Amino acid sequence: MRIHDKQYIDGSWVEPVGGGSVDVIDAATEEVMARVALGDARDADRAVTAAARALEGWAATPVDERARCLARLAEGLAPRAEEIAAVIGREVGSPANIAKAVQAGLPIAVASSYPALLREFRFEERIGNSLVVKEPVGVVGAVTPWNYPLHQAIAKVVPALAAGCSVVLKPSEIAPSSAFILAEVVDAIGLPRGVFNLVCGTGEVVGEAIARHPLVDMVSFTGSTAAGRRVSELAAAGVKRVSLELGGKSASIVLDDADLRKAVSRTVGNCFLNNGQTCNALTRLLVTRRQHDEAAGLAAEAAASFIMGDDGKAKLGPLVSARQRDRVRGCIRAGMAEGARLVTGGPEAPEHLPRGYYVMPTVFADVKPEMTIAQEEIFGPVLCILPYDTEDDAVRIANGTVYGLAGAVWSADPDRAQRIARRLRAGQVDINGGRFNLLAPFGGYKQSGHGRELGRYGLDEFLEVKSLQM
């Protein structure tokens, strides 16, 4: 069992003032796999104060030197990829292939992308008699979730450091182990003291202390929409910049000329990625009314291939916690009570898996847009199939939630698909299964948040713009 009894503050591993601790649970076995010391507002203050002291020196560090530091960070993470995949797989329940490729591989790839991007970035431009310069926003509080713990940390910490900001990272106490690995790598590469700080604690205590701290210039938060509202409220008192990546209820629109089998299969795969614990998961499948029943059968067939377990061959693992499992099962029961047709799965525990926070892969058909399961983020392996009559109807249904994080459109005519994609109020839309691009901006419309992560747009988030009139 791993014991993380210190926080990383001002370039040193120090005991937290808080004094409490939390057990980290293996999602498959329900056994304690780690214990983490919790900080409190005093620890947050120590970290923020250290970051504020370090800011001026780091901001003045030449771009090439910052790029070299980030390259060393990525190089330090790479040899620990298997360890990262193992601990996140146990904490979050990610199947082995997802843990290796996504939980470990993606954040290392994102970190590796920034040195070159930073060297090419234009920090200055002339506009008439003005020199417009981009400067670091300042001290950044990065508050990250449990579902993709290292990826979300890297997507904030690395571009913030690239911009010349100093950082205080607060990971989720549910899945914190990879953040400690990140801090160990940062310590080994020798970043200046205080440039990166790690404080583990609850959102209500440490997260809120960071959001309201007068020396924090920006809060970058990923998590639930409700928690994002709270962060915004606290940050507003200091008129801080806030970047939010929140919930989603993304729609996959299958047009009548699309390859139905491929579109349904790929949508199910996306919906069940990381056991459904993905903010931009395609959880609503929209198909023409005449194809609805056929699509339901294809979805059930695809869902049946998602074998549950943690043996390395499974495609569907447990959810992160008993609380999350119970919440998802409650959503399934709500769907049944509201009249949606259960095609496969359901709220019962799988008989062959007596331990672990498992939820059966579930598909609902005949779902109406106003139903709870079609409006609220479930965050589990649950797909809703909704029929539509016209293209305008499909767009209306797709846009008919408070969210706007992602979406997908399928058609034999790419131009037709793109016309529909442009009408969706979402930050990222896949056309005919377009692959994830780690250099493209990621973020949402409406209550899915504001701000963008990844690539040069992610770097821009951490920069202020100044105009020098000559």
416-436 average pLDDT score: 97
In the annotation, is 279 catalytic?
yes
Give whole-number Cα distances, 408 to 4, 290, 305, 397, 435, in Å: 41, 20, 22, 13, 11
Q: In what order do the strands lie in the sheet with 124-127?
A: 124-127, 130-136, 463-469
Residues 72-92 pLDDT 10s: 999 999 999 999 999 999 999
Cα(448)–Cα(271) distance, integer angstroms: 17
Confidence of residue 372 (pLDDT cuts 50, 70, 90): very high
pLDDT exceeds 90 at position 1 = no
Mean pLDDT for all residues in the chain: 97
pLDDT band at 366 (very low <50, low <70, confident <90, very high): very high
Is 453 a catalytic site residue?
Answer: no
Question: Confidence band (pLDDT; 50, 70, 90) for 371?
Answer: very high
- Render pLDDT for 185-223 as a digit per residue (tens, 0 to 9): 999 999 999 999 999 999 999 999 999 999 999 999 999
Residue 43 has a pLDDT of 98
Stretch 346-353: mean pLDDT: 95
pLDDT for 312 equals: 83
Residue 123 has pLDDT above 90, yes or no: yes
Residue 33's closest CA among 80, 82, 93? 93
378-393 average pLDDT score: 98
Q: Give yes or no for residue 19 having a pLDDT over 90.
A: no
- pLDDT grade, residue 313 (50/70/90)? confident
pLDDT digits (tens, 9 = 90+) for 154-175: 999 999 999 999 999 999 999 9
Region 103-116: what's the mean pLDDT?
98
| Percentage, residues of the chain above pLDDT 70 | 100
DSSP state of 339: T
**What does the pLDDT read at residue 339?**
98
| Alpha-carbon distance values, 248 to 175, 277, 390 (Å) | 21, 11, 24
Report yes or no: 103 and 94 within 8 Å, Cβ to Cβ. Answer: yes
Residue with tokens 């146990």: 90
Q: Output the DSSP codes for 150-196.
A: HHHHHHHHHHHHHHT-EEEEE--SSS-HHHHHHHHHHHHHTPPTTSE
The catalytic residue among 165, 271, 279, 331 is 279
Segment (H or E) for 468:
strand 463-469
Which position among 91, 173, 208, 245 bears the catalytic label? Answer: 245
In order of their start, the domains of the chain are 2-246+447-469 (3.40.605.10), 250-438 (3.40.309.10)
Angle (CA) 143-147-150 rounded to 5° is 60
Position 18 scores a pLDDT of 84
- Give the pLDDT confidence of 261-285 residue by residue, as tens digits: 999 999 999 999 999 999 999 999 9
Tokens, residue 423 = 């009408």
The pLDDT tens digits for 225-270 are 999 999 999 999 999 999 999 999 999 999 999 999 999 999 999 9
pLDDT band at 311; cut points 50, 70, 90: confident
